[in-house]
Structure 1
Amino acid sequence: MTTSAENGRNDGQPAMHTPPVVSPQDWEAARQQLLVKEKAHTRARDALAAERRRMPWMAVDKTYAFDGPGGKVSLLDLFQGRRQLIVYRAFFEPGVFGWPDHACRGCSMVADQVAHVSHLNARDTTLVFASRAPQADIARLKKRMGWTMPWVTITDSFDADFGVDEWHGTNVFYHDGDRVFRTYFIKSRGDEQMGGTWNYLDITPLGRQEVWEDSPQGYPRTPTYKWWNWHDSYVEGAAPDKRWVEVSTAGEKAFRGESKGTTT
């Protein structure tokens, strides 16, 4: 059976060679066949994240200063008391196409995709955007575009030192007391997938911090699903909601034959 797309178009463009239209039974068989590969892809992605958590760290010995809404802040300040920090270098500054009304189109698409940062915060992780535009311009842009993530101004060689002076990129840091370490860096097409909570957590040294993950000994792990909450309801140090624990546990049991309690 052919579709209308195969029968030609009226806009002068070549006809699309679309897949065949099949019965519900054949469609489900094709879905199950593809699902095998999709499951393998998920397992491979999990294994890659596990390997990423075992990457060596690089000590950050140089002092960096940024301008924030409240004045000067250091790289350590950007963590906001959390152990992990993700810094996305967004291009919004004189010389970038769109200035002063807009940031780079690509960086703006990334900003549009950022999930509510409270979910990252609940996993001891802070997300920050960094540009060379003054804070007044950043505040104006955030208000216009409806963005709420923290956004600081680069004032020194941070961008050049961490590979983001000429192109966008995402750096990941971890701190232990006053010591800061660079743990990961991703750019180009790898960077364009950022925005979702899980993708961000998967590039951090601690990962999603759930029991099913393959993480080094001693890393924080909590039961899957149980820490999830509405973005306006996280309370630091609070135990998971009892009713949600019951609901999620029932859901896990119902599907354990297929998923075995993982997030796949």
Structure 2
Amino acid sequence: MTTALPRVVSADEWQTEHEALLAKEKELMKAADHLTAERRRLPMVRFAKPYEFTSAEGKKSLLDLFEGRRQLIVYHFMLHPGDEAGCPGCSMVVDNVPHLAHLNARDVTFVVTAPATLPEIEAYKARMGWDLPWVSANGSDFTEDCGVGRFFGTSVFLRDGDDVFRTYFTSGRGAETFSAVHRYLDITPFGRQEAWEEESRGTDEPGGWWRRHDEY
């Protein structure tokens, strides 16, 4: 990491520059609001295949994953059969999942899926100390049909009666949307300390510093 620090200025100059930045932040937030509305207007596609998932409670269908709610968020986790541990980046995303009561209150269910077998999932959950709902997609076409392959991503589904539709998907840097870790780092002077950042004060490759939370 470099040792260059921000300029030292008077309190009045700091306040002036802070207010200028705040105006830009508000402008960006309004643009994000418009993009969010556009996301809600996306068309949807029916998911009618009889997918079967394995959970600690037994076999479940895609419809079962909604738990009676109308909206479902699925995180596709990179944990495959035979893996000794889950993806560090995916693990960071799951560490950042909020208390589900807040989602449930808005008619949203959240679940994590992975291609690994249920025993492999349960072992990794125990290591990480997670109690979030997970299901195994092992033996199902679900992961492939969502276009995830051996990668990761977030899918959103809507239930209309017994009909299920997919409304949204994101992957890659889209996962940063769900990472409070990144949001907090982005307000610090040193940021993420990755080489690509403008005014970077670090040399790490993107994601090169990520570890599972028990490995730092």
The question of a shared fold, defined as TM-score above 0.5 by the shorter chain, is answered with: yes
What are the ranges of 5 or more consecutive residues in structure 1 without an aligned counterpart? Answer: 1-12, 200-264
Aligned partner (choices 170, 175, 178) of residue 191 of structure 1: 175
Compute the RMSD of aligned alpha carbons.
Answer: 1.7
Cα distance in 2 for residues equivalent to 1:88 and 1:173:
11
Which residue matches 2:61? 74
Which residue matches 2:154? 170
Identity percentage over the alignment?
A: 48
Aligned partner (choices 112, 127, 131) of residue 95 of structure 2: 112
Which residue matches 2:30? 43
CA contact (8 A) 1:173 1:184 kept: yes
Cα distance in 1 for residues equivalent to 2:51 and 2:98:
27
1:34 aligns with 2:21: yes
Which letter does structure 2 place at the counterpart of 1:61? A
Distance apart, 1:88 and its partner CA:
0.7
Cα distance in 1 for residues equivalent to 2:179 and 2:23:
27
Are residues 132 and 166 of structure 1, via their aligned partners in 2, closer, same or farther at CA, if it must alter by over 3 Å? Answer: closer
Which letter does structure 2 place at the counterpart of 1:128? V
SS in 2 for 1:193: helix
Which letter does structure 1 place at the counterpart of 2:43? P
1:19 aligns with 2:6: yes
What are the ranges of 5 or more consecutive residues in structure 2 without an aligned counterpart? Answer: 184-216
Distance apart, 1:16 and its partner CA:
3.6
Say which is worse superposed, 28-37 or 140-149, in terms of deviation: 140-149
Paired residue total: 180
Higher relative contact order (CA 8 A, sep 6+): 2
Matches within 5 A, 1:130-169: 130-154=113-137, 155-169=139-153
Q: Give me the TM-score of the superposition, normalised by structure 2.
A: 0.79
CA contact (8 A) 2:81 2:120 kept: no
Which residue matches 1:244? none
Which letter does structure 2 place at the counterpart of 1:122? A
SS in 1 for 2:178: coil
Cα distance in 2 for residues equivalent to 1:57 and 1:153:
25
Cα distance in 2 for residues equivalent to 1:91 and 1:142:
13
Structure showing greater Rg: 1
Cα distance in 2 for residues equivalent to 1:140 and 1:118:
25
CA contact (8 A) 1:115 1:195 kept: no
Which residue matches 2:40? 53
1:181 aligns with 2:165: yes
Distance apart, 1:166 and its partner CA:
2.4
Q: Deviations over 1:199-232 (max 9, x none)?
A: 9xxxxxxxxxxxxxxxxxxxxxxxxxxxxxxxxx
1:64 aligns with 2:47: no
Which letter does structure 2 place at the counterpart of 1:174? L
Are residues 77 and 195 of structure 1, via their aligned partners in 2, closer, same or farther at CA, if it must alter by over 3 Å? Answer: farther
